[in-house]
Structure 1
Amino acid sequence: MLGEAARAAGYRLIIRDEVGSTMEEARRALHQGEPGKLWIVARSQKAGRGRHGRQWGSPPGNLYASLLLTDPCEPALAPQLGFVAGLALHDAASQLLGPAAGGLKLKWPNDLLLGGAKTSGLLLEGESRAGRLNVILGCGVNIASCPTDTPYPATYLKTAAPRANVEAMLLALSDAWAKRHAVWSQPGGFGPIRAAWLERAAFLGETITIRLPEGPLAGRFNGLDPTGRLELETETGRRLIDAGDLFFGAP
């Protein structure tokens, strides 16, 4: 069930028992003329995936959701929706965790960490149709379990909040998204979104490594520029990074 704020803002929900992936379900709905503002949630996925085509394990008990947005903004602004979604995930998880929420951090560009371990990831994809950009935001939240064969630590919400469940997470997330998106939609709205994201950022001011197609690049994570690019202070000067994989420490 969606939250009250989400329903009031016109968002709708479809729930499936099992799908290949909620991203593909959202894309199919788009091709069939779906007008958007649609959450698609599955109890399990057979072919869930993350960034760069990585497989995302999808056993029952975790949240697998995609949000379809039709013509939400100018194409140049679409990457900012990832920060809006990250904040919404942080808001929702904080609500479920209560006093344990102090361990939550946002890892650029698209992960939610709990105690330094990944508990949620985001996938943002765009598709141009009839001269306009449509966006699908996919998210997976480890609630009851997490994978053990990952190249990074992973965890799940029930370790800190035993009563956490899919229904509560979806309700909190849908409302948090509606509220954060309403802020972003105002003139200059990315300013407060950017500030709020940085308040919750992991590794800010520390040495990190960004894995880029041309190789790893290390430097100090100084923040985000006004458009959302990562600011990295390297040995050769300031670099602005649009996309990449972030790892803590030097290579």
Structure 2
Amino acid sequence: MPQPGSKMRRKVCDRLVSTNLEAKRLAKAGNVGPLWIMAREQTGGVGRRGRSWVSQKGNLFASGLYPHSGNAQAAAQMSFVAALAVHETINHYIDAPSAIKWPNDVLAAGRKISGILLESGQDKDKAWLVVGIGINLAHAPQLTDQKTSCLADWSQTVPKPEQALDILINSYEHWREQFERGGFAPIRSAWLARAHGLGGPVIARLPNKTISGKAIGLDVDGALEIETAAGERIKIHAGDVFFS
């Protein structure tokens, strides 16, 4: 039986500034996919909140470009779809304790092994969504604020980026189909089964305040639910979260 992503169009480039930038360029030119773009080398990768994404050759840098309804909540929920696909891809290759840290950081033994950045837009009558994904295959970049890992830390056999992309696309298409059929409910359930830190202490750093308490769940709209020491329940839709 063919895999769900086996017929997906791919564009593989030797070098790009950023696969997300290339996807947005295509979208603004009228090509809104579906299409996956991969670069063997990326010179200007960007993570969440404009942070630099270290792009060492041998790792996977890819972006999926899809037509989109334009619904902001649905776009945000696709971040969880992407996280499930990355988690599944990593577990295809290594046997390591893995989990998803809210909202979409995949961890191997508590160390960050991937990054996801979603961007959306609309030109004329065409709305689009870009799903940018980086997975540390051969190298784990050194970060100042968190520990990192890569597949090579766990296995002597490391897939080529093109091979990992095949697994990633198939997994993403599987979870995307689940989302289209059942909405966010099956995605939320699968995410919770793989969640890092739920039930434990958490600190959320927001632009204007810091919230501490216990991580108690994931709201139906994808927000992280925190219960403070005073018993107040707060929903976090965006921010940096740290689990003890």
TM-score band w.r.t. shorter chain: over 0.9
Tell me, in whole angstroms, the C-alpha distance in 1 between the residues paired with 2:132 and 2:32: 17
* Equivalent residues of 1:110, 1:123 under 8 A apart: no
Q: Deviation string for 1:166-224 (max 9, x for gaps)?
A: 233111111000111001001x3311110110110000111011110012211111111
2:59 corresponds in structure 1 to 62
2:74 equivalent to 1:77? yes
1:25 corresponds in structure 2 to 22
1:248 corresponds in structure 2 to 243
Q: What is the CA-CA distance between 1:72 and the residue it aligns to?
A: 4.5
Tell me, in whole angstroms, the C-alpha distance in 2 between the residues paired with 1:238 and 1:129: 39
2:89 equivalent to 1:92? yes
1:161 corresponds in structure 2 to 155
Q: Deviation string for 1:146-172 (max 9, x for gaps)?
A: 111331001111111221222331111
Instruction: Return the letter of the residue paired with 1:19.
Output: L
Tell me, in whole angstroms, the C-alpha distance in 1 between the residues paired with 2:157 and 2:133: 21
1:176 corresponds in structure 2 to 171
Instruction: Return the letter of the residue paired with 2:209.
Output: G
Structure 2 residue matching 1:209: 3-state secondary structure: strand
- Which of 190, 203, 210 lines up with 2:197 in the alignment? 203
Q: What is the CA-CA distance between 1:228 and the residue it aligns to?
A: 1.1
Q: What is the CA-CA distance between 1:21 and the residue it aligns to?
A: 0.4
2:33 corresponds in structure 1 to 36
* Equivalent residues of 1:112, 1:118 under 8 A apart: yes
2:4 corresponds in structure 1 to 5
Instruction: Return the letter of the residue paired with 2:196.
Output: A
Which runs of 5 or more residues in structure 1 are unaligned?
none
Q: What is the CA-CA distance between 1:131 and the residue it aligns to?
A: 4.9
Q: Deviation string for 1:44-92 (max 9, x for gaps)?
A: 1110010011111111100000111122462221111000000011111
2:141 equivalent to 1:144? no
The range that moved more, 121-130 or 169-178, is 121-130
Which runs of 5 or more residues in structure 2 are unaligned?
none
Instruction: Return the letter of the residue paired with 2:57.
Output: P
Q: What is the CA-CA distance between 1:132 and the residue it aligns to?
A: 5.1
Structure 2 residue matching 1:213: 3-state secondary structure: coil
Instruction: Return the letter of the residue paired with 1:94.
Output: N
Runs of 4 or more off by more than 6 Å in structure 1? none
1:194 corresponds in structure 2 to 188
* Equivalent residues of 2:73, 2:221 under 8 A apart: no
Instruction: Return the letter of the residue paired with 2:113.
Output: T
Structure 1 residue matching 2:212: 3-state secondary structure: strand
Structure 2 residue matching 1:36: 3-state secondary structure: coil
- Which of 107, 110, 118 lines up with 2:101 in the alignment? 107
Equivalent pairs counted in the alignment come to 241
* Equivalent residues of 2:105, 2:112 under 8 A apart: yes
Structure 2 residue matching 1:6: 3-state secondary structure: coil
Instruction: Return the letter of the residue paired with 2:64.
Output: L
* Equivalent residues of 1:208, 1:248 under 8 A apart: yes
Tell me, in whole angstroms, the C-alpha distance in 2 between the residues paired with 1:76 and 1:131: 19
* Equivalent residues of 2:216, 2:225 under 8 A apart: yes
**TM-score, normalised by the number of residues in structure 2:** 0.94
1:118 corresponds in structure 2 to 112
* Equivalent residues of 1:75, 1:133 under 8 A apart: no
* Equivalent residues of 2:70, 2:122 under 8 A apart: no
Tell me, in whole angstroms, the C-alpha distance in 2 between the residues paired with 1:159 and 1:72: 40
**TM-score, normalised by the number of residues in structure 1:** 0.92
